[in-house]
Amino acid sequence: MQKRVVFRSRLLPYLLVLPQIAITLIFFFWPAYQALESSFFIEDAFGFSRQWVAMQNYVELFEDPSYLRSFKTTLIFGVSVAVMAMSISLGLAVAANRVVKAATGYRTMLIWPYAVAPALAGVIWYFLMNPSLGIVAYWLKNVGVDWNHYLNGDQALLLVIVAAAWKQVSYNFLFFLAGLQSIPKSLIEAAAIDRAGPVRRFWTIVFPLLTPTTFFLLVVNLVYAFFDTFALVHATTEGGPVDATSILVFRVYNTGFIGQDYGSSAAQSVILMGLVIMMTFVQFRFVERKVQY
Amino acid sequence: MATLSINSLGKVYPGGVTAVSDVNVDIADGEFIVLVGPSGCGKSTILRMIAGLEGITSGDLQIDDRRVNDLEPGERDIAMVFQNYALYPHMSVRGNMEYGLKNEGLPKAQIAERIAEAARTLRLEEFLDRKPANLSGGQRQRVAMGRAIVRDPKVFLFDEPLSNLDAKLRTQLRAELKALHKRLGATFVYVTHDQVEAMSLADRIIIMSNGKVEQIGTPMDLYLRPASRFVADFIGSPSMNVLDGTVSSDRRSLQLNGSHQIDFGAELPAAAGNQIAIGIRPEHLHQNTAGETRIELSVGFIEQLGADTVVHGTLAGSQSPLAVRLNGVQARDSGDSIALSCGRDQIHLFDGTTGQRLNWDNQ
Ligand SMILES: Nc1ncnc2c1ncn2[C@@H]1O[C@H](COP(=O)(O)OP(=O)(O)OP(=O)(O)O)[C@@H](O)[C@H]1O
Ligand SMILES: [Mg+2]
């Protein structure tokens, strides 16, 4: 059977993909090009004049210790969010996979956080952890932890990590659950007969078979943490105290809109774009080719 | 090497499905037992209860006189070959076979030795480093077998291990399996829905229907003395002809549909006017009138098998299906009628209502 559709008109296929191409061009390529262009200029705050400076914006960025610190912060933030969100959701997925009764109920409940807007997720955690009225901060005080993310940079970073991870758990959970359910039950049974206990079964059979899912989620979570957490940081710590939570995306905004240094902001977004392209490449290169069991 | 003793074993699944009830059997050391029956009769359930993959609702299960009801699958010292083989896809053939031994904590040298031997027996040497995905169905099947053999378990369990293979390979592997059993001398419990497989492999067959045991016996027991109409129908291909009839007033003959009268020359084990059924295997009917029991077949269609010909049709003058196996190549037209006969000792009797076998003097 012929699977390919054959169009009689030569024009029709192009017409059909036109909207898609138009959207991509107008909303992705055009702004990207604008950012790339601006990154080579220094512009005055009102946009009246600009001056070609070639790579100067980039050079300044990499000579700025606080920008380099942001790189490190972003890396710590991204890896922590990914690891935390993934391990919690894997745990939940394994538990939910064992549940027989009311399984859909649990699943629905676990999916809800994903529907919460990032800014709102930030605000929820912000209230929970607020040093003067937050319930979690109160509990922490009772166990002897003096929580104040307004002053303590590490605590502030921890707060945004937890908030960002919490929001991503639902998404990961869905994928892990689907991954777990696609592992044939007879494999687990064969391992049980082969004298592997539940823990050993998990690490030698289940976890390796989840590798494709895990790798896919790792990339997705890193991309999320690096590029999709602006609203969350903005709503909670605003990058502070003293840049402690100023991750790269947040910095782009801060430099551009608060500092009004459009050239540097543009250069930063070009660097971020480069990162996204790299990660997407890694994902296509490895995830797609990874053996699907 | 072990005995297996099953006492009034029963299984009710959550949700209330009674899959197995009151199964009793003692399996001897080194015996090849085949569980056979139609789909959904509870064969896999019994096997999975022996393996410990399914909880036992009622009754006792003993391996070597030790009650194992509450032991984990890994503690029962059994090995199982699954219908879909259940090979670990991320491990090589060697990895698959090693897995259980590593879990047991066997020394490395010993593991290597066992794997080498199993690989030799099953002709898997050249595939040891391949992943299961890169093997043919038959090779995967042998790996699954290898994974069981290296464990050197007390009991081997097989759940339809050949059903995913083509007919030719199935026949070949059947022979290999039989040879393997002989060589290992281990206790085998084997599930299949294929009666030919059951007949050719088993020392004893357990035939089941609807979660209950119909009969336990050697293949020849089941063939020659089926305990019920169900067994008679299930064992043998084509199936035994079973014809309903009414016991005559002198209890010495049976009135079949289509004005056939079967004389028994002895008293039937049923009251006058009762409904009973006679069973005659297609291969026991002959194209002559030498036998004491004569019936006439009205030809419907024929199956030419080369070595012999199976003629399907009805008992002349009735709608009751009747088949006969004739030697060699035979041509018949639809509507022809063939006079057949058989010896009285080839006739089986079954109760009309319960379907249970009725024994009578002439046998
Ligand atoms: N997990 C389960 N929950 C509820 N009912 C089940 C379950 N597994 C099997 N059954 C039911 O128990 C009965 C016996 O099933 P079983 O799998 O033992 O049949 P089988 O003889 O192996 O059939 P087949 O030849 O098709 O494999 C069937 O009616 C089946 O629907
Ligand atoms: Mg089955």
Q: From the CA of A10, how far away is ligand 2's center (Å)? A: 55
Which of B195, B227, B259 is the C-terminal boundary of a domain?
Answer: B227
B190 and B282 together in one domain: no
Residues 6+ apart with CB under 8 A from A189: B51, B53, B73, B80, B82, B86
Q: Please report the pLDDT score of residue A291 as a whole number.
A: 46
B135 and B237 together in one domain: no
Q: To the nearest whole angstrom, how far is the Cα of B213 from the nearest Cα of chain A?
A: 26
Q: Please report the pLDDT score of residue A100 as a whole number.
A: 61
Which residue from A187, A195, A291 is facing B100, i.e. has the nearest CB? A195
B161 and B21 together in one domain: yes
Residue A171 has pLDDT above 60, yes or no: yes
Structural tokens at position A35: 């950012």
* Segment A1-12 mean pLDDT: 72
Q: What is the CATH number of the domain that holds A103?
A: 1.10.3720.10
B119 and B199 together in one domain: yes
Residues 176-235 of A with CB under 8 A from B: 184, 186-187, 189-197, 200, 204-205, 208-209, 211
Range of the domain at A145: 87-290
List, for residues B8-55, the tens digit of each pLDDT value.
999 999 888 999 999 999 999 999 999 999 999 999 999 999 999 999
Q: Please report the pLDDT score of residue B362 as a whole number.
A: 59
Measure the CA angle with vertex A200, ends B72 and B147; round to 5°: 70
B133 touches chain A (CB under 8 A): yes
Closest C-alpha among B220, B221, B213, B274 to residue B248: B274
Sign of CA dihedral B164, B167, B172, B178: positive
Range of the domain at B337: 230-358
B29 and B128 together in one domain: yes
B60 and B199 together in one domain: yes
pLDDT category at A123 given cuts 50, 70, 90 is confident
Q: Please report the pLDDT score of residue B18 as a whole number.
A: 93
Which of B227, B261, B287 is the C-terminal boundary of a domain?
Answer: B227
The secondary structure of B48-117 as a DSSP string is: HHHHTSS---EEEEEETTEE-TTS-GGGS-EEEE-TT----TTS-HHHHHHHHHHHHT--HHHHHHHHHH
DSSP summary character for residue A120:
H
Q: Is the CB of B42 under 6 A from ligand 1?
A: yes
Q: What is the CATH number of the domain that holds B122?
A: 3.40.50.300
| Coil, helix or strand at residue B278 | strand
Q: To the nearest whole angstrom, how far is the Cα of A207 from the nearest Cα of chain B?
A: 11
Q: Please report the pLDDT score of residue A126 as a whole number.
A: 80
B76 and B156 together in one domain: yes
Q: Is residue B173 part of a domain?
A: yes
Number of domains in chain A: 1
Q: Is residue B241 part of a domain?
A: yes
B78 touches chain A (CB under 8 A): yes
Beta bridge partners of residue B326, listed in sequence order: B309
Q: Please report the pLDDT score of residue A209 as a whole number.
A: 92
Q: Please report the pLDDT score of residue A293 as a whole number.
A: 47
Q: Is residue A205 part of a domain?
A: yes
The residue to which tokens 């249970």 are assigned: B356
B218 and B92 together in one domain: yes
B38 and B52 together in one domain: yes
The secondary structure of B151-207 as a DSSP string is: T--SEEEEESTTTTS-HHHHHHHHHHHHHHHHHH--EEEEEES-HHHHHHH-SEEEE
* Segment A172-179 mean pLDDT: 90
Q: How far apart are CA B25 and CA B22, in angstroms?
A: 10
List, for residues A218-252, the tens digit of each pLDDT value.
988 988 888 888 888 888 877 778 777 888 888 88
List, for residues B256-308, the tens digit of each pLDDT value.
877 788 888 888 888 888 899 999 999 999 988 888 888 889 999 999 988 89
Q: Is residue B363 part of a domain?
A: no
Q: Is residue A237 part of a domain?
A: yes
Q: Is residue A56 part of a domain?
A: no
B59 and B140 together in one domain: yes
Q: What is the mean pLDDT of chain B?
A: 91
Q: How far apart are CA A222 and CA A218, in angstroms?
A: 6
Q: From the CA of A103, how far away is ligand 1's center (Å)? A: 22
Q: Beta-strand (E) ranges in B201-327?
A: 204-209, 212-217, 241-247, 253-256, 261-263, 275-280, 293-304, 308-315, 321-327
* Residue of A150 and A167 predicted with greater confidence: A167
Which of B201, B227, B253 is the C-terminal boundary of a domain?
Answer: B227
Which ligand has its closest atom nearest to the C-alpha of B159?
2
B51 touches chain A (CB under 8 A): yes
Q: How far apart are CA A213 and CA B199, in angstroms?
A: 46
Residue B143 has pLDDT above 90, yes or no: yes
Beta bridge partners of residue B158, listed in sequence order: B81, B190
Q: Whose CA is nearest to atom 20 of ligand 1?
A: B40
* Segment A116-144 mean pLDDT: 81
Q: From the CA of A195, how far away is ligand 1's center (Å)? A: 25
B64 and B187 together in one domain: yes
Q: Is residue B70 part of a domain?
A: yes
Contact B100 A200 (CB under 8 A): no
Closest C-alpha among B275, B277, B262 to residue B342: B262
Q: Whose CA is nearest to atom 2 of ligand 1?
A: B13
| Cβ contacts of B176-183, under 8 Å, gap ≥ 24 | B177/B145, B177/B201, B178/B32, B180/B121, B180/B145, B180/B149, B181/B32, B183/B121
Q: Is residue A19 part of a domain?
A: no
List, for residues A9-43, the tens digit of each pLDDT value.
888 888 889 999 999 898 888 888 888 888 887 77
Q: Is the CB of B329 under 6 A from ligand 1?
A: no
pLDDT category at A290 given cuts 50, 70, 90 is low
Which residue from B74, B84, B147 is facing A196, i.e. has the nearest CB? B74
DSSP summary character for residue B337:
E
User: Chain A: residue nearest B50 by CA?
Assistant: A193
Q: Is residue A155 part of a domain?
A: yes
Q: Is residue B261 part of a domain?
A: yes
Contacts of A205 in chain B (CB under 8 A): 88
Sign of CA dihedral B165, B167, B169, B170: positive
Q: Is the CB of B13 under 6 A from ligand 1?
A: yes
Number of domains in chain B: 2
Q: Is the CB of B21 under 6 A from ligand 1?
A: no
